[in-house]
Amino acid sequence: MIKLLDVTKVYPRTGAALEGVNLHVPKGEFLFLTGHSGSGKSTTLRLIHMAEQPTSGEVRVSGFSSLRTSRREVWKVRRRVGFVFQDFRLLPGRDAMGNVAFALEVTGTPKKEIRPRAQRLLSQVGLSVKGRSQAHELSGGEQQRVAIARALASEPLVLLADEPTGNLDDRATRGILDLVWELNALGMAVVMATHDLELVRSYPSARVIELDQGRLVYDSSQAEGKE
Partner 1 sequence: MANAIREAASAFKRSPLLMGLSTLMVGLALFVMGLFSLATHNLRLALATIEERVEVVAYLREDTRQVDLDAAIETLQTLPGVEEVRYFSKAEALERAIRDLPEIAEVSTDLEVNPFPASLEVSFLPEGRTAEAVEAVAAIAEGFPVVEDVRYGREWVERLFFLRRIGGFTALILGGAFATVATLIIATAIRIAVFARREEIFVMRLVGARDSLIWRPFLLEGAATGLLGGALAILLTWLTYQAVFHFLFALDWIPMSWAWGGVGIGILFGVLASNLAVRRYLKEV
Ligand X SMILES: Nc1ncnc2c1ncn2[C@@H]1O[C@H](COP(=O)(O)OP(=O)(O)O)[C@@H](O)[C@H]1O
* Amino acid at the residue 212: D
Return the one option of ligand X, Mg ion, partner 1, none that residue 14 interacts with (CB less than 5 to 8 A, by type).
ligand X
Q: Which residues bind ligand X (CB under 6 A)?
A: 11, 13-14, 17, 35, 37-43
| Residue 187 C-alpha from the chain's centroid | 15
Return all residues near 118 (Cβ < 8 A) that are at least 6 apart: 97, 100, 101, 104, 131, 149, 153
| Segment (H or E) for 150 | helix 140-151
Contact pattern from residue 41 through residue 80 relative to partner 1, giving x for each residue in contact according to CB under 8 A and a dash for the rest: ----------x-------------------xx-xxxxxx-
Return the one option of partner 1, Mg ion, ligand X, none that residue 107 interacts with (CB less than 5 to 8 A, by type).
partner 1
Which residues on neighbouring strands pair with residue 58, listed in sequence order? 5
Q: 51 or 129, CB closer to partner 1? A: 51
Among 34, 39, 42, 184, binds Mg ion (CB under 5 A): 42
Distance CA 88, CA 85 (A): 5
| Segment (H or E) for 169 | none
| Segment (H or E) for 120 | helix 111-124
Contact call for residue 150 and partner 1 (CB under 8 A): yes
Sites of contact with Mg ion (CB under 5 A): 42
Sites of contact with partner 1 (CB under 8 A): 51, 71-72, 74-79, 82-83, 89, 91-92, 102-103, 106-108, 150-151, 153-154
